[in-house]
Amino acid sequence: MLDRLKQRWKVNELQLLLILITFAIGGSLTGYTGKKILNLLSIEKGWLWIIIYIIIICILWPLAVLLISIPFGQYRFFIKYIKKIGVRMGITPKPPKGGFQRLAIFASGAGTNAQKIIEYFEKHPSIKVSLIVCNKPGAGVLKIAEQAGVSTLIIEKERFFHGDAYIKELRDRQIDFIVLAGFLWKLPSILIKAYPSGIINIHPALLPKYGGKGLYGNFVHESVLANKEKESGISIHYVDEIYDHGEIVFQKSCPVFETDTPESLARRIHALEHEHYPRVIEEIVNLKS
């Protein structure tokens, strides 16, 4: 559970400890103060007491954890955390028009991951899928983009690798963050430098195993099965100049069975991708913004 929290909040062990301490002290302070206030109001315990107590707790808790977070050095984490809760509960107003964090999804194939990401952010208050970038004119992901009303950009190899890597088009569309979802070309360094810590990828294995040039799709699953691994999974990582090398921000495993084929293993991996990739994208973008 603690490892999952570290991945979800993108913090180290010390930060996680300080955050949990802040939660504990902030919660205790909130409960103590709430009861003191009710005692001053001289309200007898009953339904009215419970309702007022809940209201007081909801008001006091954000203030308490923010106050406690300051000496523990976690104010920045908690201010973002509380804002996120406010947006999800409809308390914090949606950002003004044009205030979205705009995503570009780079994809080369059928686009199942891209579809899940588009669906996840369809009504999101602050994150929007604004562009699908594809290197194959007939790819299924382009049909998904058309049906969802998302703009598309078809790129060609020479300009991508030896020109400006289409950075101008990305800037013109005000793209803030790039998500790779089955994109088979290695990104040129000029594009990576244009979006520092702003590009992530999902890999269908538990990196650092089974990563690198040529290890994608069923090639990964065939290698996992050939080596008789007991588990595989997904890795979400930042993109740098080396294949499947950037900092890993999230991993999730699944079992590998003796009866597995590359196709049956791929189905379980795809289920993990669809379940976790959109949520992890949301968390990373929110931390970055």
Report, as residue numbers or ranges, the catalytic residues: 203
Cβ contact 27:60 at 8 Å: no
CA distance 93 to 289: 16
Residue indicated by tokens 């196709």: 263
In sequence order, the β-bridge partners of residue 251 are 235
Cβ contact 104:130 at 8 Å: yes
Burial class (CB in 10 A: 0-12, 13-18, 19+), 226: exposed
Token reading at 25:
């002290």
Cβ contact 22:74 at 8 Å: yes
Cβ contact 134:152 at 8 Å: yes
CA distance 10 to 19: 12
